Each structure stands twice: as structure tokens, then as C-alpha cells.
Chain A
Amino acid sequence: MGRRNRSWLAVGVGTLGLALVASGCSSSSSDAGAGDGTSSEGGGSGEKITLTVATFNEFGYEGLIDEYMQLNPNITVEQKKAATSNEARDNLNTRLAAGSGLSDIEAIEVDWLPELMQYSDKFVDLSSPDVEGRWLDWKTAQATTPDGMLMGYGTDIGPEAVCYRSDLFAAAGLPTDRDEVATMLGDTWDSYFAAGKEFMAKSDVPWFDSPGAIYQAMINQVQNAYENNDGTPIPLADNTEARKVYDSVLQASVTDGLSAPLSQWSEDWTNAFQNDGFATMLCPGWMLGVIEGNAAGVTGWDIADVFPGGGGNWGGSFLTVPTQSAHPDEAKALAAWLTAPEQQIKAFKDKGTFPSQVDALSSPDLLSVTNPFFNDAPTGQILANRAAAVTVAPFKGPNYFAINTLVQDAITRVAVDQTDDANSSWDKALTGFQELGL
């Protein structure tokens, strides 16, 4: 017993010691940080400061950060990379709630930007005459709050084109050349679905991959999908616009049988690339790499410079500066530098993040890019055209994500799980809308 007590004591003392060491470390480092903060406010750029940049996936900033540190010897920049966008979102939400621990620059993906907009007072207003007109209008609109504050600087975008399997097209007797395909697909959803019926009359392969993806593209072309401009949600039961899109997607996917019964990113969807699972899919720029990875060894993928129903954008990110930052001015300057066209072109060349800056879209570096996997298609030129074709900047308020998930689930129930019909599934979405308690 005595021996046990002693070892317990040792453990206790050890833990206490560790705790002391840890708290000692943290207090000294926070002291240093506070010292830096005051001195930089007083003495300007004379003192050395450290800025942290939190990103996720690949932003292609490694080389740029080194360059910035050479240009600004007094500033040390550290990048914190999260593996996934979701991880970054959880981290941001938690630390925003805690009121400390955020980096000086936080990258935010457009999907979860709207839900953060209601806490825009926790972010620095980044609007400045220097950056006016730098981005495509709809990109700036995404990060502008209803009261006119610019919450983030745009980094990349995901302009959408249509990717298709030319070998399957040839087997069904359709044109294979990407310009002819673009003409055949047309620029309305009706023409896209009509081409699908023509294709499926001569082929067993489904026309597109996922009803959810088609719905997302179509609803992104609606100005006020689920909410009014003041952020108040449109009751789903009265939302004829969303219901219309919902019905036409289910008509094409289920009644006309144009869709493979898949949800994107599922195991079956990934495997379908290897077994001729579908003939076309909507592809934002970053999807090209996904297709190349999933369809390794499959020949025949190509990309057409067209998108049904006008342009479409899927994804893209922003750099924001939380008010928690000890050096908001320096952080803002760094964010502005990182998102300048010259830098974003370098990131594009490094990691393929498609730039959202107007000047970058006409850069020869970008326009000359071709992709061997997609039959040497001039992907730089095609995606730049697709970015220019985007006209609608859909309003996405704090409840967009929640309501959109309800309708997406409803589509999955009908077209993928096949456990409901269109009406009963819509009713379940209405119940879910009630539960949100908006």
C-alpha cells in the first residue's frame, strides 16, 4: 500500500510539474505576443512580428509565403494547414466561440461563409480602394455582407463546364469533338436533358452521375433560392421556385431515367468512374483532378466549353482577418498581397487553384494551360470562359446551408435510395423545415 501511495504521489507531483511547465510556457509566450503587439502599434514596422495563416487542403501558398518574408524581413509568416475544409470549419467555429486562438488570417470556403456572415462583427472589414475591382463581381458579392462590409478577399473559384466521355458518345453515334458537343448540349437545361435522351436511346450508360449535383447546379442559378435579400427564409412550403427545380431534376433523373442513382463522393460514385457509370458530369475546375484520379486508366474524358442554364460556380475560398488578430493591419496587407493576381497565378501554376481575379483570367500563363488527361483540352481558356459566363450571384444567407441540405436529402431519398416518391419526400423536407424552427 505504502509503495502504491508513493508512486501515486510521484505521478501527482509529475503531473503538477508538467502543468506548471505548460502554464509557464504559455504565459511567457503570451507575454511575448502582447509585447510585440504594443510595440508594433507604437513603433510601426520596426519590430519583428509573426503572422499566422490558417488554410486547408492546398492553397499553394508555400512559395508565396517565403517570398513575402523576403520582401518583409520583419514579418515571419507561419502557415497552419488543415487537412479538410470541414476540419477548418470546426476549428474556426470553436475558436470563434471561445474568443481566442484564431490565426491572423483564416481561410473560409464559400459554402460556410454565409453562416459566418451573421457574426461579421468578429471579422475585420477588408474593403479598401486598392482592391476594388480586383475580383469578378459575383465573387466579391459572395463575401459582401448585406450592410456592405467586405468580409474576405477572394482566392480561387470553381467555374463549371461539362465533362464527357467521348468514347461513349462515339459508341452512341453522337459527335465527339468538344466544340460540336458544346453545340449539341446547348446552353439550357432542356437541351442538356434532350441530348441525354438522345444518348440513352442508343446506350445503356446513364447520362449524368448524380441528381444531387444537377440540383445544386440548377439552384445555384436562382437569385433567391431559399431566402429573401434581407436574410429572412422563404417558407419551403411556399417556395415555388425551389419546388420547380426539384421537380424538373426528379423528372429528368427518375422519370426519364437519365441519372445514375448515385450521390457524389460515395463509394459507389467513386467506383462508377471505372465501370462506365455515366457519360457526362458537371465539372468545376478542381473536379478535373478528381476525375483524373478516380478514372485512372480510362481514356476518353474530354471537356466541353458550355454549361446549361448560363454559367455556374461551385466552390472557392476567401481569406479573412478575425478581429482577434493582434496585428489586423499587417494581416490585411498580407491577405491583400496573397490574393493579388500575380500571386494567385503562381498558386494556380503550383497547385491548380483557379484564380478569381479579373486580371489573372486574361493572363497568358493561365490561358495556355492544357490538360493531357482531357484529350489535351485548353482547360485554362475553357474555365476562364466559364468564369466569365457566370451572371447570377445567388443570395446565400445564414440558413441557406440548412434548407439546401433538406432539399438535397429529399432528392437523395427519391432518386438514390428510392425509399420515397417525389411528394412524400417533399413532405419530409417540409417537416424538417419546421424542425429548424426559423
Chain B
Amino acid sequence: MATSASTQPVARGASGAGAPVGGGRRQPRPRAGKLDMKLSPYLFISPFFILFFIVGLFPLAYTAFVSLHDWGLIAGQGDFVGLQNYLDVLTQPRFLTALRNTFSIFVLSSVPQVIAAIAIAAVLDQNIRAKTFWRMGVLLPYVVAPVAVSLIFSKIFADQSGLINELLGNIGIEPIRWHADPLSSHVAIATMVNFRWTGYNTLIFLAAMQAIPRDVYEAAIIDGAGRARTFFSVTIPMLRPTVIFVIVTSTIGGLQIFDEPRLFDQLGQGGADRQWMTLTMYLYELGWGPQKSFGRASAVAWILFLIIVIVGVINFSITRRIAAAGPTKGGKR
């Protein structure tokens, strides 16, 4: 009864407003409106997902498909070979060399980078003169193209005529064999990466630091905490989500590193003994080098993808645990 009573005035109003045809026309409108309400948000975000499907998900799946075939750069699709490409790659000593180099360069670049970025951000967060100048200054290396960075650093890290070895020679130290020793070459490449990315991460940390409520600092100071104590007990824990973000992105970037090692010498193959060949360079060599095997290159791409996921998850959980020692408020995130 109650429902019919409530609907009646509406129906009456509708029929009173015009001809029966008009009532018929009016009826679907609320339904269309509902549909509009439900559907349009998805419609509006659909361009991203359509694009993501075309340029993200599809290549990912297609790469998996290619990796299961004998597939040449020019020859195209060949026979289905199952996991043979994966076996071929995993048994090649060069794969292990590439894996070692990638992790070595990744650790040598990401760790100092994040530490330095937090330290510089902490300094920039203080009351200093010409703030904008300094903040833009740290971002400047990021603007320089990686190729240009490599060009500059090749002058610095040349084995015989380089700036660093010249300086070392002046104070009587043996020149470092930047292009011959694996570790030295990794340090040199990591330096280029750090040069480029530290400033970028600094700005991200700086933005996060400025979002920390100032009254927390005041409370800490009233409690008698010194500068160092405030930094480690307030700033760092409050930066937790940002640290996770930076570590995850630098894991992805660090494991995919290509430009800097490729441009580290004139041949771009990672050294005569592949001292500094990374996984992405190995992938490139397999696909576009003498073997011209897209099948094997795709297998490496998928192995790299899995490695990045695994390392990303490990980093994420470690960072969570470390930062969880701080304030508990963010624990749910």
C-alpha cells in the first residue's frame, strides 16, 4: 500500500504533464541516467585501459608467445619449441655474467642513490637561501640526455687519458682500469646512473618531507630530541610510503639499465669479456646481434620480468618491515 501511494503522484504528474506518448518517452530516461551513472566512469577511464591493453598487456603476452618459438629477426615465426629458448639462455655462461653485472650495477647505483637523495632532500628542507635555485640545481643532471652524460663520463673514465686516472697519477696512485675490471666498470656506470637519478629522487623525497606536519617536529623538539634524532625517528618513518615508491621504481629502472652501459665504450656490447653487459644488453644482443633470435631474446625478456617482480616484492616487504618500526599509524597501508 505504501509503495503504491508513493508512486501514484509521480504517475499522475507524468500523465498530467502531457500526452501518453510523452509519458512513454519519459519513462526510459531515469533508466538511461542510471546507466550513465554506472557506465560513464568506466567509459571515461577506458582510454587508459584500452591503451594499456594494446601497448602493455598485449606485447607482454605476445612476447611470451614468441619466446616459445624459433623466431628470427627477419625470418619471422618458426617452429614451436616449447621451453627450449629458456633452456638455451639459462645454460649460456653469458646469461650468468649478465645477471651478475645487472645486480652489481643495480646495487652500486640504487643504494647510494636513495641514501644520498634522502640526505640532500633533508638539507634542502632546511631554511636555506635561494631555495628554488638549489632545488632546480639538483634536478639539472636529470634533464641532460643519457647519451650526453655517457659522452662526458667517457672522458672522465677513459683508461689512459681519462680525468680521474690523470688525477690519480698526479698523486702517485696506479691508474684504475675502468674498462678492463668488472667491478671498476660497474662503479663507473653506477656513477653515471647516480649522477642522473639522484636529483630526481631528491625532489620526490623533498616533496614528501614538506608534507610532514610541522607540529610533529615541534613535539619532538619539546621532548628534547636533537636534530639527528628527529631525522631518524620522525622524518624517516614518516617518509615510508615515499621510500617504498622510490625503491620500487629504482628497482624497475635499475634492473632494466641499458643506455649507460651500452654507451660506456665505442662498441656497445659490454666489453670484450662482457664485463659490464647487463640483461637488457644481452637481450638486445640475442635479438639484434649475430644470433638474430627473437625467441631467445623474448625468453630473456620474460626472465627479466620475473626477476624484477621477485626483487620488487622482496624490496617492498623489506622496506615495509624496516619502516614499520616507526609510528604505527601507517601500518595499514
Q: Tell me, rounded to whole Å, the shortest Cβ–Cβ distance linking B293 to chain A.
A: 9
Decide if B161 touches A268 in the complex (CB within 8 Å): yes
Decide if A437 touches B88 in the complex (CB within 8 Å): yes
Q: Tell me, rounded to whole Å, the shortest Cβ–Cβ distance linking B130 to chain A.
A: 35
Decide if B94 touches A435 in the complex (CB within 8 Å): yes
Decide if B73 touches A417 in the complex (CB within 8 Å): no
Residues of A within 8 A of B272 (CB): 408-410, 412-413, 416-417
Q: How far is the CA of A416 from the CA of B291 in the complex (A)?
A: 26
User: Is B133 an interface residue, CB under 8 A from the partner?
Assistant: no
Q: Tell me, rounded to whole Å, the shortest Cβ–Cβ distance linking A4 to chain B.
A: 9
Decide if A12 touches B47 in the complex (CB within 8 Å): yes
Q: Tell me, rounded to whole Å, the shortest Cβ–Cβ distance linking B179 to chain A.
A: 7
Contact status of A417 and B273, CB under 8 A, knowing A5-B44, A437-B291: yes
User: Is A132 an interface residue, CB under 8 A from the partner?
Assistant: no
User: Is B160 an interface residue, CB under 8 A from the partner?
Assistant: yes
Q: Tell me, rounded to whole Å, the shortest Cβ–Cβ distance linking B185 to chain A.
A: 10
Q: How far is the CA of A124 from the CA of B69 in the complex (A)?
A: 30
User: Is B119 an interface residue, CB under 8 A from the partner?
Assistant: no
Contact with A along B146-170 (1 / 0, CB 8 A): 0000000011001111100000000
User: Is A418 an interface residue, CB under 8 A from the partner?
Assistant: yes
Decide if B94 touches A271 in the complex (CB within 8 Å): no
Q: How far is the CA of A8 from the CA of B132 in the complex (A)?
A: 32
Closest chain B residue, CB of each to CB of A16: B47
Residues of A within 8 A of B180 (CB): 416-419
User: Is B125 an interface residue, CB under 8 A from the partner?
Assistant: no
Decide if A436 touches B291 in the complex (CB within 8 Å): yes
Contact with B along A395-431 (1 / 0, CB 8 A): 0000101100100111011001111100000001001
Q: How far is the CA of A416 from the CA of B19 in the complex (A)?
A: 95
Contact with A along B63-101 (1 / 0, CB 8 A): 000000000011110000000000010001110000000
Q: B154, B180, B267, B290 — which one has the most chain A CB atoms within 10 A of its CB? A: B290
List residues 99-149 of chain A with CB under 8 A from any CB of chain B: 115, 119, 122
User: Is A9 an interface residue, CB under 8 A from the partner?
Assistant: yes
Residues of B within 8 A of A435 (CB): 92-94
Contact of A267 among B40, B161, B267, B291 (CB under 8 A): B161
Closest chain A residue, CB of each to CB of B92: A435
Contact status of A97 and B76, CB under 8 A, knowing A8-B44, A409-B273: yes
Q: How far is the CA of A97 from the CA of B155 in the complex (A)?
A: 38
Interface residue SS majority, chain A: helix
Contact status of A9 and B88, CB under 8 A, knowing A93-B288, A119-B74, A435-B94: no
Contact status of A266 and B288, CB under 8 A, knowing A420-B273, A435-B92: no
Q: How far is the CA of A11 from the CA of B269 in the complex (A)?
A: 42
Contact status of A9 and B44, CB under 8 A, knowing A271-B158, A401-B290: yes
Residues of A within 8 A of B74 (CB): 93, 96-97, 119, 122
Residues of A within 8 A of B162 (CB): 267-268
Q: How far is the CA of A418 from the CA of B180 in the complex (A)?
A: 8
User: Is B20 an interface residue, CB under 8 A from the partner?
Assistant: no
Closest chain B residue, CB of each to CB of A274: B161
Q: How far is the CA of A300 from the CA of B122 in the complex (A)?
A: 58
Decide if A268 touches B159 in the complex (CB within 8 Å): yes
Q: Tell me, rounded to whole Å, the shortest Cβ–Cβ distance linking A410 to chain B.
A: 8
List residues 169-219 of chain B with CB under 8 A from any CB of chain A: 177, 179-181
Q: How far is the CA of A271 from the CA of B272 in the complex (A)?
A: 21
Q: A266, A418, A437 — which one has the most chain B CB atoms within 10 A of its CB? A: A266
Q: B93, B160, B288 — which one has the most chain A CB atoms within 10 A of its CB? A: B160
Contact status of A272 and B161, CB under 8 A, knowing A417-B273, A435-B94, A437-B88: yes
Q: A5, A264, A267, A428 — which one has the most chain B CB atoms within 10 A of its CB? A: A267
User: Is B56 an interface residue, CB under 8 A from the partner?
Assistant: no
Decide if A266 touches B40 in the complex (CB within 8 Å): no
User: Is B265 an interface residue, CB under 8 A from the partner?
Assistant: yes
List residues 133-155 of chain B with CB under 8 A from any CB of chain A: 154-155
Decide if B291 touches A402 in the complex (CB within 8 Å): yes
Residues of B within 8 A of A399 (CB): 290
Contact of A271 among B75, B161, B267, B292 (CB under 8 A): B161
List residues 194-209 of chain A with CB under 8 A from any CB of chain B: none
Q: Tell me, rounded to whole Å, the shortest Cβ–Cβ distance linking B126 to chain A.
A: 36
Q: How far is the CA of A265 from the CA of B269 in the complex (A)?
A: 14
Q: How far is the CA of A262 from the CA of B75 in the complex (A)?
A: 37
Q: Tell me, rounded to whole Å, the shortest Cβ–Cβ distance linking B267 to chain A.
A: 8
Residues of B within 8 A of A8 (CB): 44-45, 47
Decide if A267 touches B155 in the complex (CB within 8 Å): yes
User: Is B289 an interface residue, CB under 8 A from the partner?
Assistant: yes
Residues of B within 8 A of A362 (CB): none
User: Is B266 an interface residue, CB under 8 A from the partner?
Assistant: yes
Closest chain B residue, CB of each to CB of A409: B272
User: Is A15 an interface residue, CB under 8 A from the partner?
Assistant: yes
Q: How far is the CA of A119 from the CA of B265 in the complex (A)?
A: 31
Q: How far is the CA of A301 from the CA of B83 in the complex (A)?
A: 58
Residues of A within 8 A of B94 (CB): 432, 435
User: Is A263 an interface residue, CB under 8 A from the partner?
Assistant: yes
Contact with A along B259-302 (1 / 0, CB 8 A): 00000011101011100000000000000111110000000000
Residues of B within 8 A of A238 (CB): none
Closest chain B residue, CB of each to CB of A92: B74
Decide if A431 touches B93 in the complex (CB within 8 Å): yes
Contact with B along A12-47 (1 / 0, CB 8 A): 100100000000000000000000000000000000
Residues of A within 8 A of B291 (CB): 402, 436-437
User: Is A230 an interface residue, CB under 8 A from the partner?
Assistant: no
Q: How far is the CA of A409 from the CA of B267 in the complex (A)?
A: 11
Q: Tell me, rounded to whole Å, the shortest Cβ–Cβ distance linking A274 to chain B.
A: 9
Q: Tell me, rounded to whole Å, the shortest Cβ–Cβ distance linking A19 to chain B.
A: 11
Q: Tell me, rounded to whole Å, the shortest Cβ–Cβ distance linking B288 to chain A.
A: 7
Q: Tell me, rounded to whole Å, the shortest Cβ–Cβ distance linking B11 to chain A.
A: 31
Q: How far is the CA of A96 from the CA of B92 in the complex (A)?
A: 29
Q: How far is the CA of A409 from the CA of B285 in the complex (A)?
A: 15
Contact of A265 among B45, B75, B266, B273 (CB under 8 A): B266
Decide if B288 touches A405 in the complex (CB within 8 Å): no
Q: Tell me, rounded to whole Å, the shortest Cβ–Cβ distance linking B291 to chain A.
A: 6
Decide if B93 touches A417 in the complex (CB within 8 Å): no
7 contacts between A and B (CB under 8 A): A93-B288, A115-B290, A271-B158, A402-B291, A409-B273, A419-B181, A432-B94
* Inter-chain pairs besides A417-B273, A419-B181, 4 sampled, C-beta below 8 Å: A96-B74, A97-B76, A265-B267, A267-B155
Shortest Cβ-Cβ A-B pairs, 4 listed: A402-B290, A412-B272, A417-B180, A271-B161
A positions within 8 Å CB-CB of B: 5, 8-9, 11-12, 15, 90, 93, 96-97, 115, 119, 122, 262-268, 271-272, 275, 399, 401-402, 405, 408-410, 412-413, 416-420, 428, 431-432, 435-437
